[in-house]
Amino acid sequence: MGILKNLFSIFQDQREILDLTSFGDELALKISWEPLVGGGTNFCTHRLRAKSDARSDLIEFEITIAAILTIVVFFAACLAGLVGAASSGDGLPMLASIAMMGFCIWWAFQLVGDQTIFDRSSCSFVRKGITSSLENICAIQLIREYVRGNRHSYYSYELNLVCSSGDRINIVDHGSLRAIREDAEILANYLSLPVWDAIDFRIPEQTANWDVKSEILRNNIG
């Protein structure tokens, strides 16, 4: 039994449980700490860049060169497969290549559409062509997700905006821990927001009585 217990412990999450009261905000007790979007890539797809000039002070999550090269290589491989299938007259590989090229184009539009612009002068941000106010944004949330693939598995990291209503807005979701933390810090300083980083912690079971915990937090803050 001892051997089995030791083997089982290897696969258990050994991280410390996150103390949500450490963020000093009741909202942290009420929002979800589960991944907001499923999946995510195992490489960095977007980085935060300054877009400042004499007339504006903007920062933007732009698609990375690595993401562009991945799309180009994938599309070229699909195109080569389509040409080869067409020359041999094999219909099934042709259809498969066309489908994969379609997926590649869709993915490219998704990555480009995920570029987000922040403008603190107008207290707004633009995502997927929609302009939204920053007034109800209270914090930046960082969480991780274990993504299981057919050949290998990896961790993907989310950067989410936390709204005063408890809703969350995903901004980026990729596999670079260093980049996600650096960009979260830059964005937090730009918007004067706290970063609620839960990446290194286990998420507690949120079936507890949050009203009681909120009361304790209010007493500690007050």
Residue 57 is assigned to a structural domain of this protein: yes
In a domain, 106, yes or no: yes
**Tokens representing 173?**
């979701």
- pLDDT of 215: 46
pLDDT greater than 70 at residue 17: yes
Q: What is the pLDDT of residues 105-160, one digit of tens each?
A: 777 677 766 789 999 999 999 988 899 999 999 999 999 999 887 778 899 999 99
What phi, psi does 23 have (nearest 5°)? -80, -10
**Measured over all CA atoms, what is the biggest interatomic distance in the chain, rounded to whole angstroms?**
76
Given a cut of 70, whether residue 6 has pLDDT beyond it is no
- Is a pLDDT exceeding 60 seen at residue 37? yes
Q: Is 204 within a domain?
A: no
Residue 113 near residue 136 (C-beta atoms within 8 A): no
**3-state DSSP percent of the chain in helix, strand and coil, to 5:** 40, 25, 35
Residue 19 inside a domain? The answer is no
Mean pLDDT of all residues belonging to the chain = 81
For 180, the token pair is 């996600």
pLDDT of residue 157: 96
CA distance 30 to 91: 54
Residue 176 lies in a domain: yes
In-domain check, residue 13: no
How far is Cα 215 from Cα 24, in angstroms, rounded to an integer?
A: 12
Assigned token pair, 93: 């590989």
Domains identified in the chain, total number: 1
By residue range, what is the domain housing residue 92?
34-197
Q: Which helix (H) or strand (E) holds 127?
A: strand 124-127
Structural domain includes residue 209: no
Q: Is residue 222 part of a domain?
A: no
What confidence score (pLDDT) does residue 141 get?
98
Query: Rg of the chain over CA atoms, in angstroms?
Result: 22
- pLDDT tens column, 162-205: 999 999 999 999 999 999 999 999 999 999 999 999 999 988 77
Q: Which pTM value belongs to this model?
A: 0.77
Q: How many CB atoms lie within 10 A of CB 111?
A: 19
